[in-house]
Structure formats: structure tokens, C-alpha cells
Amino acid sequence: MKGIHILATGHFAPDKIVTNDDLSKIVDTTDEWITSRTGMKKRHFCEAGDNNVTLATEAAKMALDKADIDINEIGALVVSTFSGDYLVPSAACQVQQELGLSDDIICFDLNAACSGFVFGIETMRGLLMQSEKRYGLLIGSECISRRLDMTDRGSCILFGDGAGAALIELDENRSYTSVYGCHGDLAVINCPNDANKPGRVHMEGQATYKFAVSTVPKLIKKVVEKAGIELEAIDAYVCHQANARIVDAVAKHLKQPKEKFFMNLDEYANTSAASVAIALSDAIDKGFCKPGQKVLLAGFGAGKTWGAIIVDL
Ligand code: UT7
């Protein structure tokens, strides 16, 4: 199956840092509770002047700065997000303008919640197969802080803002395997879009936790089996950064060393569609993921949705 080459990545988060102690002044929680239950230490929140598009644009610029390409050869721009600044126009159209990309480009937002970046890779690969241009720009960007119920300690402590970007081209010499799923469920995680009052994220924490630890190991086994390889052939796992305990449980279930699983949720918390994008970019910058490696990306979340991809870096 024709693969993809991730030429360059970038990630960006707003300057404002919110620590667990900061949150303990807003809701009845403690640094000890948040750290022990989630592994999260801090998160970044947008301030005046920051928004979904500014985050997405900065992450994209970082990726483009690392790649020596003609930006007129970018034929598709997809922003995975559920927290766009406008219902219309899409964040992607605004980023296209900010970056000065050519007009003959397909631009749209994709909403698959925390599976957004993984679903975005599959979508981008399909778009590039149809495109007359060589490159696609995929961004996961979220400004979730504006969608949080800051009176609900069960959810407001979990999320942060940020964006990650990847510049992608097709590559016949790289392998590619993907597995996806959806089981429609409004109750477990939702964020209403009510014209009369701004929607806030609602999550049934325990139900989501159980969904994650039962779904993700099966998902990973399935994509590895589909690729015709063993788990041991995966050099690095970059999973959705929802909870360190979830990542640990997945590693334990798969009997894989925890050290193969990248984590940066202590710094960014859960950034939904940006989570896997930021983690991948950070993992590459830190040398955790290297060229030539086989990397498994896995996302899961509201929908409910889930997806995993094995790529050759
Ligand atoms: O990106 C989408 C995917 N999201 C996820 O995967 C999140 C999955 N869920 C989780 O990560 C965990 O369920 C949470 C971190 C959200 C909660 O951890 P938990 O161990 O499942 O806690 P719990 O919901 O069972 O609550 C245990 C206790 C409760 O108190 P009582 O009823 O035992 O007295 C909660 O009210 O902890 C309380 N609690 C808190 N206490 C201090 C809930 N949130 C907090 C808090 N600080 N922030």
C-alpha cells in the first residue's frame, strides 16, 4: 500500500501556563490528585490575541520552516479541530490565507475529536492520491480552554490548548497501514453547539477511561496484524495524550515496554485533535522518534471514535 512521508512537523502552544496548583484555586482539586490520577502537571491556555487559527498557523510555520519546499506545491490543507473560532469559515481557510498558500488548494476542517489527527492522516493520504500537487499540510489545533466548564473538576483539569502540524507527501517506498472505527455515542463525551449559550465539554470520565483501555490495545493489535508484523517491530508508539494511566495500561496489556510509548501530557495535558500532532512533533524534536523508524500513531475519543496508523518515518 502506498505510504506517506512526513517531511516535517511543528508544534506550538500559547504562552500562558496553567499549573495544577493554579487549578486548585478554581476548583476543589490538588496537584497530588491530578498528578497521580492523570500524570498531568500543567497545560497551556489561550489568552487574548491567541485563537485556534493563530495556534494552527504557528505550528504550520514551524513545519514549513524545516522543509525546503515550494509552498505553491501544497495542494491540500486540513485542520483537525472541534474548537474552531468560527463555524464558517473553516480554520483551514483562515490558515491558508495566513500562510499565503495558493488558491488552487482544497481546504477544510475535520472534526473527529481526539481521533482528529489520525483520521486527518488517512484523509490527507486520500486527498494526495487525487491531487495534482505534491504536498499536503495537516494540522491538529484546539483552543479547548474556551469550551471548558471551569466548575467541573472532573473535566476542566484535563485539557489544554495547542497545535501540531505535519507536511506530508506520498511515498511508494514507505509502507502504510491503518485501522479505524466509530461507535456513535452522544452521552460519553460531548460539547453542544447551542446558539443561545456557548457549549462546554462534558465527559463521563470513568466510562471514557474504560472505553480507552478496552479499545486501544485491540486497535493496536489489529493494525499490527493487518500490517503483517509483530508488536516488537514497532519502534515507537505515539498515542493520544489523555491520561498517563491509560498509556501505561495499554503498554501493560500489549506486554510492550513503557519506554516505547511517548508521553508529553505532563506539559500539554489533553489537547484533543492536536494531541497526537503535538506528541509526534515533540517526539521527533526530542529524538524519541527517528527517521527510518516504524511508528504507530493511535487516537481515540468523542464520537466515540478510534484509529491507528503505522507509518515509516
Ligand atoms: O480525550 C478524550 C478521552 N478522555 C479520556 O480518556 C479521559 C478518561 N478518564 C480519565 O482519565 C479519568 O476517569 C479521570 C482522570 C477523568 C478521573 O479519574 P478517576 O480515577 O476515574 O476518578 P473518578 O471519576 O472515579 O472520581 C474519583 C473521585 C470522585 O470522588 P468520590 O465520588 O469518590 O468522592 C470524584 O468526585 O475523585 C473525585 N474527583 C476529583 N477529586 C479531586 C474527580 N475529579 C477530581 C479532581 N480533583 N479534579
Residue whose Cα lies nearest atom 2 of ligand 1: it is: 301
Q: Which of 240, 243, 264, 289 is catalytic?
A: 240
Alpha-carbon distance of 185 to 187, in angstroms, equals: 6
The pLDDT, as a whole number, for residue 215 is 98
Q: What is the CATH number of the domain that holds 204?
A: 3.40.47.10
pLDDT digits (tens, 9 = 90+) for 34-68: 999 999 999 999 999 999 999 999 999 999 999 99
153 and 214 co-located in one domain: no
Residue 198 is predicted with a pLDDT of: 83
Looking at 171, 202, 231, the residue that finishes a domain is 171
Q: Would you say the CB of residue 199 lies under 6 angstroms from ligand 1?
A: no
Q: Is 75 in the pocket of ligand 1 (CB under 6 A)?
A: no
Per-residue model confidence (pLDDT) at position 195? 86
What is the distance between the alpha carbons of residues 89 and 288, in angstroms, rounded to a whole number?
Answer: 37
Q: What is the pLDDT, as a whole number, of residue 235?
A: 98
Residue 114 lies in domain: 3-171
Measured from the CB, is residue 114 less than 6 Å from ligand 1? yes
Please indicate, yes or no, whether residues 205 and 99 belong to a single structural domain of this protein: no
Are both 116 and 230 inside the same structural domain? no
Q: What is the pLDDT of residue 180?
A: 97
Atom of ligand 1 nearest to the CA of 212: 6
Task: Give yes or no for residue 241 CB within 6 A of ligand 1.
Answer: no
Q: What is the pLDDT of residue 98?
A: 98
156 is catalytic: no
Tell me which of 1-10, 19-28, 121-130 is least confident.
1-10
| Domain end marker among 116, 142, 171 | 171
Report the percent of the chain where pLDDT is more than 90: 97
Whether residue 102 is found in the same domain as residue 219: no
145 with 281, same domain?
no
| Omega within 30 of 0 (cis) for the link into 304 | yes
- Whether 78 and 96 share a structural domain: yes
Closest-lying ligand 1 atom to the alpha carbon of residue 156: 48
Whole-angstrom Cα distance, residue 274 to residue 301? Answer: 12
Taking the C-alpha atoms of residue 124 and residue 134, their distance in angstroms, rounded to an integer, is 11
Examine the domain organization and report whether 135 and 160 are in the same domain. yes
Q: Is 157 in the pocket of ligand 1 (CB under 6 A)?
A: yes
Domain match, 131 and 236 both: no
Q: For ligand 1, atom 37, name the residue with the nearest CA.
A: 154
Please give the Cα distance from 290 to 90 (Å, whole number). 33
Nearest CA to ligand 1 atom 3: 301
Which residue's alpha carbon is nearest to atom 28 within ligand 1? 154
| Residue of 46, 107, 114, 156 marked catalytic | 114
Per the structure, how many domains does the chain have? 2
Active site (annotated) includes residue 240? yes
The answer to whether 40 and 20 have CB atoms below 8 angstroms apart is yes
202 lines ligand 1 (CB under 6 A): no
- For residues 109 and 196, membership in a common domain is answered with no
Give CA 281 to chain center in angstroms. Answer: 10
pLDDT digits (tens, 9 = 90+) for 235-279: 999 999 999 999 999 999 999 999 999 999 999 999 999 999 999
What pLDDT was estimated at residue 223? 98
Question: How much distance in Å is there from the Cα of 275 to the middle of ligand 1?
Answer: 20
Examine the fold and report which residue of 137, 171, 205 is the final residue of a domain before the chain moves on: 171
pLDDT computed for residue 1 by the predictor: 61
Query: What is the rounded average pLDDT for all residues in the chain?
Result: 97
209 lines ligand 1 (CB under 6 A): yes
Q: Which is nearest to 276 in space by CA: 234, 312, 306?
A: 306
Q: What is the pLDDT of residues 156-214, one digit of tens each?
A: 999 999 999 999 999 999 999 999 999 999 999 999 998 888 899 999 999 999 999 99
- 198 CA from centroid of ligand 1 (Å): 24
- Together in a domain, 160 and 244: no
Sign of the torsion angle spanned by Cα atoms 217, 222, 225, 227: negative
Active site residue 270: yes
How far apart (Å, rounded) are the C-alpha atoms in residues 85 and 51? Answer: 7
Q: Does ligand 1 have an atom closer than 6 angstroms to the CB of 115? A: no
